[in-house]
Amino acid sequence: MNHFVFKINEREVIDREICFIKRLPQNLDEIFGNSNIIDSFKYYLENNNIPNLLLVGPNGIGKYSSVNCLVKEYLKDDYKQGCLIIHGSINRGKDVVSEKMDQKKNTEKNYDGSNIINFIKKKVQLNDKKKIIIIVDYDHMTKESQMALRRIIELYSTKTRFILMATELSKVIEAIQSRTVLFKYNSLDNDALNSYIDYICKKDNIEISESIKTLVIYYSGSDLRQILINLHVLKYMKNKSIESFYNFFNFPKLIVIENIIQLCLHKKTSQVYKLVSEFINEGYQIQEIIDYIFKYVYLNRNNLLTTTEQYNFLNIIIKFYFKIENLSTSLQLFSLIYWLINLN
């Protein structure tokens, strides 16, 4: 977590450092959004049976938090010895899946916690429960390791369950998809995000205005982790004005994004080029500026665009994304602005 410069006491430093861990949901009732998935998880708990799961969705929308709650409620006191968590972005290769050749490493004393086979074969008393293996960022693992896991899922189905998390379903081989129950997580809507912010603010005594809340949601997107971090930064800011928010976080002002779009609509070529140039000179990355323009048009804040105008703008920006792989030069940004200005 980033360290921020504040005049605060030692207790506040400690509180800020553990804010993320402290606010992790402890049970499924504390999860916000994707209620249909949470209901399914509760059904599994009622029946004391969790199938192999494949959870797909963007980062920061509650995949890990909901799985963590599910497994903790399922294994209870046996959570530490009955659950193995692997990060696929780190342990990508086949070694984490295949059995170690050196049998001496299979002893409890020399147990390698990152190896799936060793974990499955380790003797643990779980009564009528099954071991749970959670693989985060599963779509980062190689095709070879995914194929090896396919066979393991079949061989150890009586004693182990796998919960796989990914952001891109296309990178998960079909053999795995067919052996798991697929859940697709959706980004949280504004109502759910507002409820989440109200919940955190109430729990941690954070006072912010509705305007600041709107900005937190806009710049954090649906990433609950980023929202949580931003809220706990705001907690220690004495001046929580909109100007202070922009100055501290160094986000581009929404009014500037709005002015760029309005100038494009009214075909004010010289003015919009001047405004964009000022934007670049302030140190914002080209990709970042284009992303914020896209986001503003997509959300259509304050109904600035008609439905037709919104569709045409999005169509141009999306085509631009696909046409140019690396949006990193000012020429590319000015080219996009040109196309937006000259829409019929």
Partnered with residue 165 across adjacent β-strands are: 55
CB < 8 Å & 24+ apart, contacts of 246-255: 249/219, 251/215, 251/219, 252/279, 252/282, 252/284, 252/288, 252/289, 252/292, 254/215, 254/218, 254/296, 254/301
- The pLDDT of residue 133 is 93
Average pLDDT per consecutive 10 residues, the chain (344 residues; last block may be shorter): 40 45 78 91 93 92 91 92 89 72 44 72 86 93 89 89 94 93 89 88 87 87 84 85 86 87 90 88 83 85 84 88 70 87 80
- The pLDDT of residue 214 is 87
Ordered domains of the chain (ranges, CATH): 34-184 (3.40.50.300), 189-249 (1.10.8), 254-341 (1.20.272)
- The pLDDT of residue 90 is 85
Tokens of 18: 């553990």
- The pLDDT of residue 190 is 81
φ/ψ (deg, to 5) at 260:
-60, -45
Tokens of 271: 């003015």
Tokens of 56: 């797909």
CB contact set of 318 (below 8 Å; sequence gap of 6+): none
What's the CA dihedral at 181, 183, 184, 187 to 10 degrees? Answer: -170
Number of H helices, E strands in the chain: 17, 5
Q: Using a cut of 0.85, tell me whether the model's pTM lies above it.
A: no
- The pLDDT of residue 165 is 95
Cα 234-17-28 angle, rounded to 5 deg? 85
Which runs of consecutive H residues, i.e. helices, occur in the chain? 10-17, 19-22, 35-46, 63-75, 79-82, 116-121, 143-155, 174-177, 190-204, 210-220, 224-235, 242-249, 254-265, 269-281, 286-299, 307-323, 330-341
- Pair 268, 308: CB distance under 8 Å: no
What's the CA dihedral at 170, 176, 177, 180 to 10 degrees? Answer: -140
3-state secondary structure of 261: helix
3-state secondary structure of 84: strand
Q: How far apart are CA 280 and CA 344, in angstroms?
A: 27
Tokens of 270: 């010289």
- The pLDDT of residue 59 is 86
